[in-house]
Structure 1
Amino acid sequence: MRRLFLLAFIIFPTVVWSQSDNQPASNDFKNLKFSGYLQTQFQHAQSPGISSFSGGDFDKNSQDRFMIRRGRLKVERDDKFSNLAFQLDFTQDGVQLMDAYIKLHHPDLISLELTAGLFNRPFGYSIAYSSGNRDFPERARVFQTIMPRERDIGVMLAYHPIGKFSFFTAELGLINGSGYNSRDYDSKKDIIGNVKFEFDSLASNKLKIGFGGSYYHGSVRNNTESYYTSNDDGFTKNTSPSYIGYHARREYYGADMQLEYDNPFGKTTLKAEYVTGQQPGVAVSEDFTGTEASKSFDEQPPTDLYLREFDGYYLWLTQQIMTSKFTAIAAYDVYDPNTKIKENQIGLNNNTTAADIKFSTLGYGLTYSASDRVKFTLYYEHVVNGDTLLPDYTTDLKDDVFTARLQYRW
């Protein structure tokens, strides 16, 4: 499969460029398209120094903070056979490259498009859905864990027919697997695929329905002589000198659904997504906190791998309040990093750690769209973890977060 994908990557650009030298129409800056958004916010945490998926962990002695959550600037240029895009993120932490890709297409093959560079992983719905459009402050915990920062480096082939089958899109990617800002630490490449169906003109254009399925197949290299496999009682240790360089399976299955209905009470949307599979991680240590220990790695994990069967999902509900500029929003998400173990078993003498704890989050709030460019958001997240036998997790942590955000788009 990987060799066939690379062959297509070589042949497709040859077909496109053999038709034209693809020289830019001009070097005039008027051919460039600029867009972006700025999100500035205030947050209050229930306790100082909490670990949080709402914009990152709080500092040790802080439970209140102002921050620039996202400051995006995107530059694009379209030519007859190609598209070039760069996107930067400006925050108090510095400047980071978010997108850098080239898209190739041909007028005679308009349904096909090849993308190469740094881009959103083609998996599910919420990964590629812009944070500037999303009503909720952040993506669900499960997706921040298995695909942090959403992007990776590689190539992707997309098929989107026109005409009566324009509701269908298929995407297939070959990526490093190490994330958006890291060099690949081994020679293995990951395959990722997504199919989606979108119907946006039902019930006299008042009803929109979308759904899809996704698959991810990759691996994580083990750097020691041992790795752990999960079972109903905890973890079993496997040891052999041959396990140095062993590639543990990293595999995800996903399904998503979107529903939008324009009704007399205002526009209603319901979106849901579920993902399950195997996630290689590590045990909690001084270098890896409970949440970090089950995240996807951007560099070679230095300690023994722990192979966990996981699942997670989210539900997003929004309701415009009649014809006003106010929208009520509510969300619920769950991430269980180890579905084979129960919470009351975590902390026994079975190699379990805080990386195996299940979390759920109930969020609710209100948005106000002052204009097409300016939006205010008030949002509260109630985070619940299972009670375990671990000293720091015998009861629910006090890690709720309130967010007040102001966004401007251009």
Structure 2
Amino acid sequence: MKNFLVFACFFLPFVVLAQNNNAPSSYDPHDIKITGYLQTQFQVAQSPGINSWSGGDFSEHSASRFMLRRGRLKVDRVDKFSSVVFQLDGTQDGLRIMDAFIQFHNPEDKSLLFTAGLFNRPFGYSIVYSSGYRDFPERARVFQTLMPRERDLGAMISYKPKKILPFIVAELAVVNGSGLNAKDYDSNKDIIGNFNFRFDSLANKKMQLGFGASIYKGTVRSNTTTVFKPTDNGFSSATDAANEDYNFRRDYYGANLQVGYKNSFGATSFKTEYIQGKQPGVAASASISGLAASTSFSAQPTGNLYLRNFNGYFFWLTQQILDTKLTAIVGYDVYDPNTDVDESEIGVAGSNTTAGDIKFSTLGYGFTYALNGRLKLTVYNEHVKNDGTQLPNYQSDIKDNVFTTRLQYRW
């Protein structure tokens, strides 16, 4: 990771920023404007009742389903000095708030923005990039785990000097750390820093190049006197009265890269993002699946904390087919919630390891077809793989592949 960050810093002046979703539809002054998109899809799982990051877990006896994946309705208004954004998400599970924030800006150039409310965590590339424009059905497993539903409550300062250095964007946010839940379970606040550059017109306006680096500094409160700390082959328990009410570190470090090029056989894009750090979690149990054991918590975690070192990354490649509306897509992502153990050591007696420590990788491939300027079809197949462990239900690869076909309408 150190070499990766050195590479990132060396090439920092030559990078591009992803589209940021923490903004109104336009900064030009306007009265109420309504935008949004609807995603409806059909999915087939390899086995009934699987745990999945492809739209959520399947029901116990079901291996196929129709569902509304996202139904976003965004309302915004912009005047000379400020703007307000309010976004709802409606699916078969009900209606919920996705964004609700107010921004203040300099009426002359809008280079300095102050945002307060509920907004996307300004970390990396994929978290802030709108699901309505992303070619791939879902974000990588590692980001869904660490930052579920992407949003948090807090305040943020953004610097975008469009007149002086139009290729720079810097963001600094202070958030609860508990996501959309306003009832934060400790008094500490988390800090997020994001720094990006962008160049959209390289190589005779055929090339786009982007790069950025992010940091997340936070904590998770312990509710018990016992915590489990990582060792070379598992965890060792540590019981101390001082552990209760102690805030253990939750730190992430990330870097991202995007390259796009318009060529004679269609537009090509390559995107990648890497993240590593420390994530307090819990042990997998009958009530908490292995996939959820290292999820960031929206409420006070019950039980003993497991302090894990993790890493994860994704590669996304898209290729437009000649000058058509058809685009081929290939993605690969990895999430290792515990980099201190090998899969063969998980489940060994005395190691204190559980299904929450298993590494997963996902290879996906498919295509998108733009039926018109608003309607898009996506067909995508995911092969999810894990190595065998010594745990009873995880001695070989779980049968949890997922096929998705989706229609999206955007307005």
Q: Do both share a fold (TM > 0.5)?
A: yes
- Structure 1 residues 201-210 or 176-185, which shifts more? 176-185
CA contact (8 A) 2:153 2:182 kept: no
CA contact (8 A) 1:374 1:406 kept: yes
CA contact (8 A) 2:181 2:299 kept: no
CA distance in 2, matches of 1:337, 1:262: 37
1:163 is displaced (CA, Å) by: 2.6
CA distance in 2, matches of 1:321, 1:334: 27
CA distance in 2, matches of 1:256, 1:88: 28
Q: Which position in structure 1 is the counterpart of 2:24?
A: none
* Stretches (4+) displaced over 6 A: none
Q: Which position in structure 1 is the counterpart of 2:11?
A: none
Alignment of 1:180-219 (within 5 A): 180-219=180-219
Matched, 1:151 2:146: no
Q: Which position in structure 1 is the counterpart of 2:326?
A: 326
Matched, 1:385 2:386: yes
Q: Which has the higher helix share?
A: 1
Kindly provide the amino acid, as one letter, of the partner of residue 46 in structure 1: Q
Q: Which position in structure 1 is the counterpart of 2:142?
A: 142
CA contact (8 A) 1:182 1:299 kept: no
Alignment of 1:298-313 (within 5 A): 298-313=298-313
Unaligned runs of 5+ in 1: 1-29
Over residues 303-323 of structure 1, what are the superposed CA-to-partner deviations in whole Å (9 max), with x where a residue is unaligned?
100000000000000000000
CA distance in 2, matches of 1:158, 1:241: 41
Q: Which position in structure 2 is the counterpart of 1:88?
A: 88
Alignment of 1:270-309 (within 5 A): 270-309=270-309
Q: Which position in structure 2 is the counterpart of 1:342?
A: 342
CA contact (8 A) 1:267 1:320 kept: yes
CA contact (8 A) 1:345 1:389 kept: yes
Q: Which position in structure 2 is the counterpart of 1:409?
A: 410
Matched, 1:366 2:367: yes
Kindly provide the amino acid, as one letter, of the partner of residue 183 in structure 1: K
TM-score by length of 2: 0.92
Over residues 81-126 of structure 1, what are the superposed CA-to-partner deviations in whole Å (9 max), with x where a residue is unaligned?
1000000000000001000000001225631100000000000000
Unaligned runs of 5+ in 2: 1-29
CA distance in 1, matches of 2:56, 2:264: 39
Kindly provide the amino acid, as one letter, of the partner of residue 398 in structure 2: L
Query: Residue 101 of structure 1 aligns to a residue in which SS?
Result: strand
CA distance in 1, matches of 2:366, 2:268: 15
Structure with larger RCO (C-alpha < 8 A, sep 6+) = 2
1:74 is displaced (CA, Å) by: 0.2
1:231 is displaced (CA, Å) by: 1.2
May I ask how many residue pairs the two structures share in their alignment? Answer: 381
Q: Which position in structure 2 is the counterpart of 1:261?
A: 261
1:182 is displaced (CA, Å) by: 4.4
Query: Residue 44 of structure 2 aligns to a residue in which SS?
Result: strand
Q: Which position in structure 2 is the counterpart of 1:43?
A: 43
Matched, 1:354 2:391: no
CA contact (8 A) 2:109 2:162 kept: no
CA distance in 1, matches of 2:372, 2:259: 24
Kindly provide the amino acid, as one letter, of the partner of residue 79 in structure 1: D
Q: Which position in structure 2 is the counterpart of 1:376?
A: 377
CA contact (8 A) 2:113 2:158 kept: yes
1:164 is displaced (CA, Å) by: 4.7
Over residues 114-169 of structure 1, what are the superposed CA-to-partner deviations in whole Å (9 max), with x where a residue is unaligned?
00000000000000000000010000000000001100000000001123511010
CA distance in 1, matches of 2:232, 2:45: 35
TM-score by length of 1: 0.92
Over residues 177-229 of structure 1, what are the superposed CA-to-partner deviations in whole Å (9 max), with x where a residue is unaligned?
00024421111000000000110010111100000000000000000011011
CA distance in 1, matches of 2:179, 2:90: 19
Query: Residue 77 of structure 1 aligns to a residue in which SS?
Result: strand
CA distance in 1, matches of 2:132, 2:110: 28
CA distance in 2, matches of 1:70, 1:395: 33
Query: Residue 393 of structure 2 aligns to a residue in which SS?
Result: helix
1:234 is displaced (CA, Å) by: 0.6
Query: Residue 391 of structure 1 aligns to a residue in which SS?
Result: coil
Kindly provide the amino acid, as one letter, of the partner of residue 254 in structure 1: G
CA distance in 2, matches of 1:67, 1:299: 27
CA contact (8 A) 1:36 1:71 kept: yes
Q: Which position in structure 2 is the counterpart of 1:26?
A: none
Q: Which position in structure 2 is the counterpart of 1:24?
A: none
1:259 is displaced (CA, Å) by: 0.4
CA distance in 1, matches of 2:247, 2:166: 39
CA distance in 2, matches of 1:131, 1:243: 39
Query: Residue 144 of structure 2 aligns to a residue in which SS?
Result: helix
- Structure 1 residues 280-289 or 327-336, which shifts more? 280-289
CA distance in 2, matches of 1:346, 1:144: 23
Q: Which position in structure 1 is the counterpart of 2:118?
A: 118
Percentage of identical aligned residues: 60
CA RMSD of aligned residues (A): 0.9
1:372 is displaced (CA, Å) by: 1.2
Q: Which position in structure 1 is the counterpart of 2:163?
A: 163
Query: Residue 31 of structure 1 aligns to a residue in which SS?
Result: strand
Over residues 260-314 of structure 1, what are the superposed CA-to-partner deviations in whole Å (9 max), with x where a residue is unaligned?
0000010000000000000000001233110111100000011100000000000
Kindly provide the amino acid, as one letter, of the partner of residue 138 in structure 1: E
Over residues 236-271 of structure 1, what are the superposed CA-to-partner deviations in whole Å (9 max), with x where a residue is unaligned?
111011211011100000000000000001000000
CA distance in 2, matches of 1:370, 1:245: 55
CA distance in 2, matches of 1:282, 1:83: 40
Query: Residue 293 of structure 2 aligns to a residue in which SS?
Result: helix
CA contact (8 A) 1:368 1:376 kept: yes
Q: Which position in structure 2 is the counterpart of 1:7?
A: none
